[in-house]
Structure 1
């Protein structure tokens, strides 16, 4: 089976699952409205739109994927900065972050310049952003302001960019199949989020982190995580992994995604916000959908590169 045939097969399965979820949602609504059912229906409707966008991107090729993820990083950074108070002295580093760092990071992926892609933001941008802010002469809360901008760029640009960077990987016996690896990551991490929500609503009894994220439960994490791992293991045929290795990689994605969700929920709580934004109906803001990807993508990318590169 060719890479294109595998993509079509996986997308066909996703569309089938969404169709089933849509039918179930409508049946549940007929039995009576509830906040949980409304939330589920809104999530399914949003997923139809997101899957359609992904399908178009995969159909158009790697450049389309990079452009879409660059836009995701741009809007995610905007949400982060919107919730994080800034001062006029931050305007120059913010302009550089939005209009230089975002396009340059994704250009490095397109150019397949791994050596610079891997260190450009953690080293050069990390040092440059506070240096640029110095010229405004505003030292009020300088450390706090600088740290927020650095953290925002790291999470929304550097970490998220590792997802489409999977397209640049050259793996043993896996040439030209980077889109499948990207699809694998997105399916496992997002399915884990959805199944944790479902298992948490059905069986949740013990809060995982009640102060940080009251809706997350231990039962949701275990049940949803195991379900996502099972699906990830069953998708080994679109990856360079064996079934057992695929299960291990899926477990890594699930754990990292859960940690990312909790860490960024803590950031939201510290800022007094429930959601990062309202960009995606039923899902909150862009960062509400990408919080798990922020942690899972870089770890998955480097683990795959270390162990499977040619």
Structure 2
């Protein structure tokens, strides 16, 4: 391989290679299955399912860049994801005409947040948006002189930064944890794979044994059976795959699975509550078959920061 391309690729652990191959194998199986279903039942409309699987191909390919690529390539990808998520959030939320100039400072927080990760400045990484942007944005808004709707606008803008940038930046921060080369990439795969598996497991358990609504006013399709079944499945998966991808002990792996299963559900319904408040079904149309980027990342807005600090406190 030419040295130019080699500089963009990081060493990858064999366990992670096998994990990625398993994901691509599942996508191939899913694509073939949908193709066969279309031939077997041509009268049914399979377009949405095809769109979902095609989108998953793109998601997995982009995610693979963050695992296989150089640290700075991964940071760039995650910064772009945060930018798109924050832009989508601002499109949904009502911003005041007077605050348009403030949005420049809010967007500027995105490259700065990932810059702190890039130079391994942990203290600034965990304080920049929760503290400094919390103080800076209202200060800039005050200078404009418009007081009507001030509190709602300031709180909405900062909350969007917290969810779309601060929370999601913890995915990239996993790659910056000290340790052996490739350790962070395995932890990142572990977190994302379990979070997405938790979403699928909760859906399947909900369809099969779900009766009582877990949150009827926020997300009527979520059931208590789906929640408990998803948490149990995610906890078991964490215990099974943790020895290959993480330094977690069996007990800590069970705790991590419980954390991801529970907080993934919370992240899902929190974003659902936001969409209900704004009167929309999906956060956007960026991902065909899925909706918007926040529809796909809702669970990770909670699991990413919590898992990061869980693993960092125990092992780093």
Give the structure-2-normalised TM-score.
0.90
For 2:187 and 2:268, how far apart are their aligned partners in 1?
Answer: 22
- 3-state SS, counterpart of residue 161 of structure 2: helix
Tell me, yes or no, if structure 1 residue 121 matches structure 2 residue 165.
no
Match of 1:258 among 244, 259, 265: 265
- 3-state SS, counterpart of residue 281 of structure 2: coil
Change in Cα spacing, 1:6 to 1:87, as seen in structure 2 (3 Å) is same
- 3-state SS, counterpart of residue 288 of structure 1: helix
Cα offset, 1:164, TM superposition: 0.8
Q: Which residue of 1 aligns with 2:169?
A: 161
For 1:44 and 1:84, how far apart are their aligned partners in 2?
Answer: 29
* 2:13/2:182 contact within 8 Å kept: no
For 1:230 and 1:31, how far apart are their aligned partners in 2?
Answer: 36
Kindly provide the CA deviation profile for residues 75-118 of structure 1, in whole angstroms up to 9, marking residues without a partner as x: 111111111111122112211111x2000000000111001111
For 1:56 and 1:142, how far apart are their aligned partners in 2?
Answer: 40
Q: Which residue of 2 aligns with 1:244?
A: 251
Tell me, yes or no, if structure 1 residue 142 matches structure 2 residue 150.
yes
- 3-state SS, counterpart of residue 278 of structure 1: coil
* 2:234/2:260 contact within 8 Å kept: no
Cα offset, 1:242, TM superposition: 2.4
For 2:55 and 2:235, how far apart are their aligned partners in 1?
Answer: 23
Match of 2:311 among 280, 304, 307: 304
RMSD: 2.0
Cα offset, 1:247, TM superposition: 2.5
For 2:201 and 2:26, how far apart are their aligned partners in 1?
Answer: 13
Change in Cα spacing, 1:266 to 1:33, as seen in structure 2 (3 Å) is farther
* 1:58/1:64 contact within 8 Å kept: no
Gaps of 5+ in 2: 1-10
Q: Which residue of 1 aligns with 2:223?
A: 217
Cα offset, 1:194, TM superposition: 1.9
Q: Which residue of 2 aligns with 1:177?
A: 183
- 3-state SS, counterpart of residue 192 of structure 2: helix
Match of 2:68 among 59, 67, 77: 59
- 3-state SS, counterpart of residue 235 of structure 1: helix
Match of 2:291 among 279, 284, 289: 284
Cα offset, 1:246, TM superposition: 1.7
The alignment covers a number of residue pairs equal to 304
Gaps of 5+ in 1: none
